[in-house]
Structure 1
Amino acid sequence: MKAFLILEDGTVFEGRHIGVDKDVVSEIVFNTSMAGYTEVFTDPSYAGQAVCMTYPLIGNYGVCLEDMESERIWVDAVIVRELSKVASNFRCDITVQEFLEKYEIPGIEGIDTRKLVRLLREKGTMNGYITTNENIRYEDVRDKLKAYTTGDVVSRVSCTEKQVIVGTTDLADNGPLSGAASFDREKYEAAKRGDLTKREMRPSNVKELNGFGFKVALLDFGAKKNIASSLAARGCDVTIYPSTTTAEEILADEPDGIMLSNGPGDPKECTEIIKEIKKLYESDIPIFAICLGHQLMALATGADTYKLKYGHRGGNHPVKDLENGRVYISSQNHGYAVDTDSLDPKVAEPAFVNVNDGTNEGLKYVGKNIFTVQFHPEACPGPQDSSYLFDRFIDMMCASKEDMHEE
């Protein structure tokens, strides 16, 4: 069956229908990853967007449902050069076509994705209309295309009630994930039984146990599963809060650290959330923020954000850590960035920079146990180049406990 993609500038692409047969209007973006399409399709940060995969063949290893970053597909539609009808991989559960049908997602294949990407790079991100109706003309959908916005997508993707994930570090055989040589098994077993709480441990023992027993509050703006998993794997007990949760409720639970997650949409639309983050900033609790969380913290502290021409989406973006001078390969998915010219140097300073275009990729907050990044350290593009940032967050919580002990 024929399918058509109509862009808001009037460009029309003709291809073949994939997924389910339904019309959709969405913001058209592209992702440069060669693999990881399951994670892309299920990333809540894509809510309100249709994604074009630049790699020419998608679906050859099928879909492993265990790799999903959320409970469903969040992209509005999928655009590919060629969709493999046959999947070959020992972990494969279903094909991409079956995956799209399962979650009622439409798509189009057979178009010149190179031309589409060039258009988006030259003219900037545009809205598009995907349909199988051969009689629809640009004039019929022009107003819809011009009027479409992603809107308040954070409320769509966030959880609706608190969830708890208990730390899952397997200390039985190998000790903490960090490989601490001085692991004290008796202390660990006592803490596991509840005979020894983290507040009763000496600070050095807290360090030895890595994140075991730490309570982390994860504010869900569209959090990928692997964020909570990365914390739990380091021994942290993670409580996931809906995006509408007040700062007072979070602080009342006395977390040892706070995570602000990734998420979709324009950060400036999250006005109520920004007010609550400002209150969290004013606390002395260590905070680590990713992607949308990074932008929201910047807005909460007086900085500004702006929309990128076509965004950063892919698993091959180099970022430089300004503290150690090293460059890491990162996974990214964002259409907005923090304006470093708007930063108050007394509040925050750049910590990471994008090597390709010089845009900001992270901030360190002056006099605060807060650092934020624009990219995704929970993803595995390098394959684990930037996962050390979770360890840095653990170190911040450890240091905070040591300060409390000294007081």
Structure 2
Amino acid sequence: MSKKALLILEDGSEYEGFVFGYPRSTSGEVVFSTGMVGYTESLTDPSYYGQILISTYPIIGNYGVTDSKLVKSYNPFESTKIQAKAFIIADYSPMFDHWNALQSLSDWMNKEKIPGIYGIDTRALTKHLREKGTMLGKIIVNDQDVDYYDPNTENLMDLVSIKEPQEYGQGSKTIGLLDCGCKTSILTNLSQRSVKVIRLPWNWDVSNEKFDGIVISSGPGDPQTCTDIISHVTKVLQKETPLMGICLGHQVIALASGANTYKLKYGHRSQNQPVIQHDSKHCYVTSQNHGFAVNNDSLSDDWLPFFNNLNDKTNEGIIHKSGRAFSVQFHPEASPGPYDTTHLFDKFLGLLK
């Protein structure tokens, strides 16, 4: 029989369940995702670093964990390890069935020493967070108490970024990619478009480099804690180099241009977030994973809103009036989620001279 585990939120509310994965106590920021699939991609997404992830979909684990080597066209692992602190679900399926699956979700999490809880009413828990706002929490196993951990108090980019430059793909054009917690699928979407990609540490001063274009990746945490990259991007904006930002990269570009960011009450984490493009009025369904947003009203005269969220009207993208730089809050690479906005990679590459 599975061991009991206890989730305690910082407001004192408690939720009792059972352990799967690795049986240890942990703590972090508790967030929820409403996606029906994609737990492998989500758990390995560096944007979830320091967070305890809740899945509102009731049955998790039924397709196991796949082997990326068997399907060359798709890699379900967005980094080399699980980035989330823990996983909270309602009903765990120890039996899995998928032609490409090699192990169960619990076995994978156990190997990576990541705890999980099942048997919790995750929809009731999600409603609580939606009403009260995102908060810290801790999972207690074997009565081993731990302190609350707030990941937003430190520079998480430095913990998930590479330390030395890496090169991917080949082509006549070269892209500098600032790794703030870059997903594998962002690298894939760029390199498969016949360009050379130089992946750089988050704090690399790209303003001194001669790239044909620069991309700032997604990543975890509060963008305002990362002053080095903001100052570097501020200098890039004074040049004519084409620039694209994704998720956290979007927030970095906004801050570098003089705009403000703020924390959302409970964030956007799902695969069905509708956005509208300002100029064309086209609507897209997008994959999102962020807890901070850009304040539309703080944009300078040189910048315009590019996309807005149709649910809560928050900013989902900005574009420079010259057209040479833009950024989006959502994930055009998806993984998991719809590929409705992958054309934005082509839009960016079309800016290269």
TM-score, normalised relative to structure 1? 0.82
Q: Which residue of 2 aligns with 1:236?
A: 195
Partner of 1:93: helix, strand, or coil? strand
| Structure 2: tracts of 5 or more residues without a match | 69-75
Amino acid at match of 1:369: R
- Does 1:73 pair with 2:82? yes
Residue 94 of structure 1 aligns with which residue? 103
User: 1:94 Cα deviation (Å)?
Assistant: 1.6
Percent identity of paired positions between Structure 1 and Structure 2: 45
Pairing of 1:284-323 with structure 2 (within 5 A): 284-323=240-279
Q: For residue 194 of structure 1, what is the aligned residue in structure 2?
A: none
Matches of 2:144 and 2:191 in 1, distance apart?
Answer: 52
Q: What's the CA shift string for 1:18-54, capped at 9, x where partnerless?
A: 1111111100000011001100000000001010011
Contact 2:176 2:206 in 1 (8 A): no
Structure 2 residue 323 is matched with structure 1 residue 364 = no
CA distance in 2, matches of 1:374, 1:347: 19
Matched AA of 2:249: G
Superposed CA RMSD? 1.4
Flag structure 1 segments of 5+ consecutive residues without an equivalent: 168-211, 402-407
Deviates more, 1:281-290 or 1:355-364: 281-290
Q: Which of the pair is proportionally richer in strand?
A: 2
Q: How is 1:373-388 mapped onto 2 (pairs within 5 angstroms)? A: 373-379=328-334, 383-388=338-343
Alignment of structure 1 residues 43-58 onto 2, 5 Å? 43-58=45-60
Task: Please name the residue that 1:161 is paired with.
Answer: 164
Report what 2:186 is aligned to. 227
The alignment partner of 2:186 has SS state of helix
**Alignment pair present for 1:34 and 2:43:** no
Work out the CA distance in 1 between the residues paired with 2:257 and 2:167: 29
Structure 2 residue 284 is the aligned partner of structure 1 residue 328: yes
Change (3 A) 1:30 1:132: same
Distance, in Å, in 2 between the alignment partners of 1:25 and 1:383 is 31
Equivalenced residues, count: 343
Aligned to 1:107: 116
The answer to whether the 8 A contact 1:82-1:109 is kept is: yes
More helix by share: 1
Q: 2-side partners of 1:109 and 1:148: how far apart?
A: 23
Alignment match, 1:17:
19
Q: How far apart are residue 380 of structure 1 and its match?
A: 5.0
In the alignment, the residues of structure 1 paired with residue 30 and residue 335 of structure 2 have an alpha-carbon distance, to the nearest angstrom, of 25
SS in 2 for 1:116: helix
Q: Does 1:278 align with 2:237?
A: no
- Note the C-alpha offset of 1:135: 8.0
Any conservation in 1 of the 2:287–2:338 contact (CA below 8 Å)? no
CA offsets, 1:180-231, max 9 Å, x none?
Answer: xxxxxxxxxxxxxxxxxxxxxxxxxxxxxxxx42111100000001111101
Aligned to 2:307: 352
Query: Which runs of 4 or more aligned residues in structure 1 lie more than 4 Å from their structure 2 counterparts after TM superposition?
Result: none
SS at match of 2:215: strand
Distance in 2 between residues matched to 1:237 and 1:149, nearest whole Å: 33
User: Which letter maps to 1:123?
Assistant: K
